[in-house]
Amino acid sequence: MLKKRILKVQCNDVSGGVKAMKTCKDYKRVLKNILRIPKDDAIFVKKERIKTGIHGLDRVLNGGYVERGIVTIAGGVGSGKTIFGLQTFLSRAYCREAAGLIISFEEDEEKIITLAKSFKFKISPFVYILHISRAMVDFNSIFYEIVKSIEEKDVKHIFINSITSMGNVDSVKTREFINHLVALFERFEINAVFDYLVDKDYSLSDNSFSNDFIFEHSDTVIFLNYIQEVKEMPRYLLVVKMRNSSYETGIKIMKINSKGINILGKVEADYKTRKKEYLITVLLSFSDLKVNRMLTEEFKKINPNISLKIVDAPEGINIDDLRYQILSKECQYDVVLCDMFCVRDLAAEKLLVPLNSYFRLKEAKYYYDNALNECTCFGEIFGLPDFLNSFCLIYRKELFNKHNITLPSNWSELVDKTKYILNKEKFLEHGLIYATDNNSIKNVFMSYLMSNSDTMDIGKEIMNYKNYKDVLGFMYDCVHKYKIVPEHIYQCNFKELHTKFKNGKALFSHDWAFNYLMKDTGLMHKYGFMSFPPLNKGGKSCNVYRGSAYVIPVTAKYPVFSAEVVKYLTSYYISKKIHEVGKFPDLPARYDVLEAMEGSGTYYVSAKKMLTEGILLNMPLDKEFGSVINNCVKNTVINEVPIDKELENTECKMKILEKMKFHNKIIDAAVRYMERGHNKKLYLKDISGVVNLSPFHFARMFKENKKMTVMEYLINIRINHAKVLLKERYSLNVSQIAQKTGFPNLCYFCNTFKRKTGFSPSEFRFNKTAL
């Protein structure tokens, strides 16, 4: 049994000062008297190196820590500071058989001993633990206990766990106390280790750490970091300071195992020196064997120890399925090419790995700002854009050149110039066609709407019914008054309209420009592309667009290597290579690729002009809003319902949908909370508190949305998890499964399970047909 002496602070009056100083209430006077004592000659002996006790760190520090110095272990929450500090402190105290003192503001003595035992750290019988509650922090009491330990126990090693808990390190009082502590440690030749908590966004760039007060007093500063707390994800270590000594620079990989911390090689060289081969699975939303083969072969040449496995999803990636797979930890993909406008939602739910640690910010200048902004959440980049697809106007370039006509700069010019060319060219059947399916007519409407906007904010314009009237009036006139748009826009098959435009039967096509070009790249150089003109001359033209971005789910096995894959797939070389293949004529999300492709023909020249001069606007409309807009356009333009009457109906539907959407967000947040905490005791007040609603209001809203009570839904979640455990975890008995799924006792679990499924848990487990 370990022999420990627990030193406790006797505090009678926290506000007025601690009476534990006995003969003196001010630690400053005590320190003044101590410093008057002449120093021993041994103090002036040249400082030597002492072992760190951490495998691999002595090599990085060229022999270990400087003896009688102060070591600061800095990092964010969960980066491994406490384990790191405890391991190096206990190792030095044990090897030198010297007394040591642990001052902890977080864990009590029992937790510290349990933590040390869990990593099999050797603990000297002369280690003392001083636990100080945050509510009782007083500089006099801390100083008195340190001096007492030094004098009575001859303490030579001190570990202060979470020094930031003493108070704001930037305050004058705290700074003064730390100055005095440092003076005390130097006088008594103390080896001190500080555990220093920094914010997650703390930056070491441009040597900003040198301005930190704690770091100024430290002989050695070691910075720990990590990306996400995910299984098998390595943490990182960087030595940022070592006074009067040399050390290895560069970020090192730090791993925590059952025996403590190990320091491995450099991050950038680690996977190249290992013999193990890593497999990174990439989910793409397009399918082309030639491109896939090119991607895997080129990547293998650059990274011989990493293999790419490309999985195609030709019908697109369902974001709800992806979210469920990540939440349930069933996602098998390390890199996913998903819709750009889903990145923020997934990042807000902490389902994606941030890329700032891997992505040099100076590279951001090569991406369109709109595209990169869509992949940024809370100031961090969670995805790198791959390509854009713009909903704009495509026009017959040769006809405008033939008649020496400039492109229209507003709505009225669009009508006049279209009518002029229609009169001159008899083979033209239509002036402007909407070559899109009936359900996507909202894209046409939104292009008109945003070109008539002053705010360029789609969220505001959706509810701006005044502009609705202008747009609907213009769309109606184009069909019935100006006769430049066919009347049967809802009756025509959009593939038929594509064919008409490719055969030269229309002057303009308003469409996702590259849908039909995917199959016939020979047309790329025969047509021009332009942003949709504004209502009035001198206004802002715009493009409604969408795009894709590469992201890394938090369930990725090797995020470091997955990040290398993402950078590779979005690099200048690969993006240009894909466009040269000619299979994917979507707009690249990088400026430099578009500029390099300008020499390939007018397609890229027009595309660059459109993206540079026009304003890119995403359109994250859900199906319900889109359906309302589709019906609104159809009723006014085709069925000729009066615009004012139709707008009244549309406004009512929009407000109802907006309320439903708000309720759905609340319910979804509550459901996610129940999914994560299904194995704990959850009460209605706990769940409603997550969404900041009263239990009564939340329960009523939940029942209206899900058609069942909150507790009934929670029981269903628990039953579903129990089913999975019964079928897949035969090592667990029924009682253990009941406990793991949040049921209070075995009897209640069995009765509920049979009521819900018709089987007892044991019957369900061994019945092959039961699901």
CA 683 to chain centre: 30
Distance CA 283, CA 325 (A): 13
Distance CA 590, CA 575 (A): 8
Q: In this predicted structure, what is the pLDDT of residue 733?
A: 86
Q: In this predicted structure, what is the pLDDT of residue 269?
A: 42
In a domain, 4, yes or no: no
In terms of domains, do 484 and 594 share one? no
Last residue of a domain, one of 270, 299, 329: 270
At residue 243, φ and ψ (nearest 5 deg) are: -65, 130
Burial of 564 (0-12, 13-18, 19+ CB in 10 A): buried
Q: Which two tokens stand for residue 179?
A: 């100055």
What does each C-alpha distance from 163 to 144, 194, 222, 446 come to in angstroms? 17, 6, 15, 56
In a domain, 74, yes or no: yes
In a domain, 771, yes or no: no
In terms of domains, do 423 and 306 share one? no
In a domain, 19, yes or no: no
Range of the domain at 489: 389-546+600-654
The model's pLDDT over 654-668, given as tens digits with 9 standing for 90+, comes to 888 878 878 888 888
In a domain, 461, yes or no: yes
Q: In this predicted structure, what is the pLDDT of residue 524?
A: 61
CB 734 within 8 A of CB 762: yes
In a domain, 330, yes or no: yes
CB 197 within 8 A of CB 45: no
In terms of domains, do 470 and 350 share one? no
Q: In this predicted structure, what is the pLDDT of residue 171?
A: 65
Distance CA 587, CA 408 (A): 23
In terms of domains, do 483 and 591 share one? no
In terms of domains, do 230 and 205 share one? yes
What does each C-alpha distance from 72 to 162, 505, 711 come to in angstroms? 10, 74, 49
In terms of domains, do 425 and 529 share one? yes
In a domain, 162, yes or no: yes
Distance CA 525, CA 585 (A): 11
The alpha helices in 15-138, defined as continuous H runs, are 27-35, 57-60, 81-95, 109-118
Task: Kindly report the CATH number assigned to the domain that includes residue 128.
Answer: 3.40.50.300
End-to-end CA distance of the chain: 51
Task: Kindly report the CATH number assigned to the domain that includes residue 370.
Answer: 3.40.190.10
In terms of domains, do 90 and 107 share one? yes
At residue 350, φ and ψ (nearest 5 deg) are: 60, 45
Q: In this predicted structure, what is the pLDDT of residue 46?
A: 45
Last residue of a domain, one of 207, 235, 270: 270
Longest alpha-carbon distance in the chain: 109
In terms of domains, do 214 and 344 share one? no
| Amino acid sitting at position 552 | I
Distance CA 331, CA 651 (A): 41
In a domain, 44, yes or no: no
Q: In this predicted structure, what is the pLDDT of residue 632?
A: 86
Q: Residue 214, SS3?
A: helix
Mean pLDDT per block of 10 residues along the chain (771 residues) reads 34 34 52 54 52 81 80 80 84 69 80 82 78 68 77 82 65 76 82 77 45 72 65 64 71 78 61 60 76 84 84 69 74 88 84 80 75 83 85 86 90 92 90 72 79 62 72 89 80 71 85 56 69 76 78 88 88 82 68 76 70 65 75 85 87 82 85 85 88 89 89 91 84 86 89 89 80 63
Last residue of a domain, one of 654, 689, 719: 654
In terms of domains, do 265 and 127 share one? yes
Q: In this predicted structure, what is the pLDDT of residue 33?
A: 61
Q: Residue 389, SS3?
A: strand
Bridge partners, residue 527, by sequence: 396
In terms of domains, do 289 and 349 share one? yes
Q: 0.75 exceeded by the pTM? A: no
Contacts of 408 (CB under 8 A, 6+ apart): 414, 416, 417, 418, 533
Domain count, the chain: 4
Q: In this predicted structure, what is the pLDDT of residue 712?
A: 92
In terms of domains, do 630 and 689 share one? no
In terms of domains, do 456 and 528 share one? yes
